[in-house]
Amino acid sequence: MTDINNKMHVDEKLLTLDEWIELAMTPEKKRKHLILDCQFPTDEHLEEYLKTIDKRSDKEIKSLLSQFLIPCGHLGHDEHVKESILAMDPERRKTILEISSFIRRLFNMSKDSHPWQGITWIVDLLPHWPQEAINALDAYFQAHCQMMPDGRMQGLSDAKAIIKRKYLEHNLPVKETLLNLTPRDFELLVAYLFMKKGYDTNITPRSKDGGYDVIAEKQNDREHERLHIECKRYEEKVGVKIVRAVLGTLIIRNATKAIIVTSSSFTETAKKEAYESKRLELMDLKAFDSDMRSFTSIDWPSHVSQYLMEIRKSYNKQIEVTGNSLCLFS
């Protein structure tokens, strides 16, 4: 089947993933075919792409994202939306025009006036700020979803899935990186993370370890939060004995909550004890990695030396370096 421009219609659902990508990535002016290119043809195509995303080039990924994201301009159903607004009661139409800048742009639509303000610019946030790209995408969708055609909504959903899998969920040498640190450097890295979360942090002196390694505090006019953080650079699971010892610090020193951060995981009895206490958070390897990606960098293992240098500088009034020994004083 052909259209008025003698372009062939392609049933993209029958194509393999790579066949569809090759056709979809062909510049529109050079295409001899009509094909859906603002979303994956099926959920199966999407799942296959996500499974093979580590083998895909950055150029291909960003080109595909640009296809799925809405550009500045017009969409095919804009006139239909405009007709729907015109068919409304005059008072309701007036109200919608007053509150929606999109509808006002739609009614002033011309070759030089575009109702859709594009979101393709979020590609420039990648690879360094993927969470910010997702936040922008979510806000854009929230503002425009009622006027957006189904295909474009699906395209934005596909774009979000690509960003998350490629830039937020990709494999990193997380465990190896942490196990290569000294226990003290692991404590400093944990302190750095909580500093990035907005806490004032302090490291407890090794000779005076009272069951926690880091104190993290945050306060404002309404509340004062104090966290006792115990750091366990372990290969084996953290058990209930350590959980109980950390919970004991909440009684000895007044604190809002205790946290155990580990480079491994926790036993089931440790999880149960923590859950029943209601005042202990367990941060395993996966949770630590997720927070580091969110609050520092998506490839944080390659920046650990820089982070440790930064946190040491922030403690310059507390740290005295003697040879290779790091002595911290309260």
At residue 20, does pLDDT exceed 50?
Answer: yes
Question: Residue 5 CB: number of other CB atoms within 10 A?
Answer: 8
DSSP-assigned letters across all residues of 47-91: HHHHHTGGGS-HHHHHHHHHHHSPPSB--TTHHHHHHHHHTS-HH
Is the Cβ–Cβ distance between 100 and 43 less than 8 Å?
Answer: no
Among candidate residues 266, 296, 283, 325, the one with its CA nearest the CA of residue 131: 296
Beta bridge mates, 226: 217
How does residue 128 score in pLDDT terms, banded at 50, 70 and 90? confident
pLDDT tens digit sequence for 154-213: 999 999 999 999 988 878 899 999 999 999 999 999 999 999 999 999 998 865 555 689
Q: What is the mean pLDDT of residues 321-325?
A: 39
Domain chopping of the chain, boundaries: 8-71+118-168, 174-328
Distances (CA, A) of 308 to 160, 222, 232, 255, 312: 32, 32, 17, 26, 6
pLDDT tens digit sequence for 132-165: 999 999 999 999 998 899 999 999 999 999 999 9
Residue 296 dihedral angles phi and psi, to the nearest 5°: -120, -85
Q: What is the mean pLDDT of residues 47-63?
A: 94
Which has more confidence, 292 or 320? Answer: 292
Q: How high does pLDDT run on average in the chain?
A: 88
User: How far is it, in rounded angstroms, from Cα 264 to Cα 234?
Assistant: 6
Distances (CA, A) of 198 to 132, 201, 303: 18, 9, 19
CA atoms within 13 A on the CB side of 102: 20
Reduce the DSSP state of residue 101 to 3 states and report it: helix
Among candidate residues 121, 119, 154, the one with its CA nearest the CA of residue 38: 154
Among candidate residues 139, 149, 92, the one with its CA nearest the CA of residue 115: 149
Reduce the DSSP state of residue 229 to 3 states and report it: strand
Which has more confidence, 114 or 135? Answer: 135
The confidence score (pLDDT) of residue 321 equals: 42
Beta bridge mates, 320: 327
Is the Cβ–Cβ distance between 274 and 246 less than 8 Å?
Answer: no
Is the Cβ–Cβ distance between 244 and 216 less than 8 Å?
Answer: no
Among candidate residues 209, 255, 207, the one with its CA nearest the CA of residue 231: 209
Give the distance, in angstroms, between the CA of residue 190 and the centroid of all CA atoms in the same chain.
Answer: 19
Which has more confidence, 232 or 317? Answer: 232
Q: Domain 174-328 maps to which CATH number in 3.90.550.10, 3.40.50.300, 3.40.1350.10, 3.30.420.10?
A: 3.40.1350.10
Q: What is the mean pLDDT of residues 44-71?
A: 95
Which residues in 70-88 are b (16+ Cβ under 10 Å) and which e?
A: beeebbebbeebeeebeee
At residue 117, does pLDDT exceed 70?
Answer: yes
CA gyration radius, the chain: 27
| Upstream peptide bond of 127 is cis (omega within 30 degrees of 0) | yes
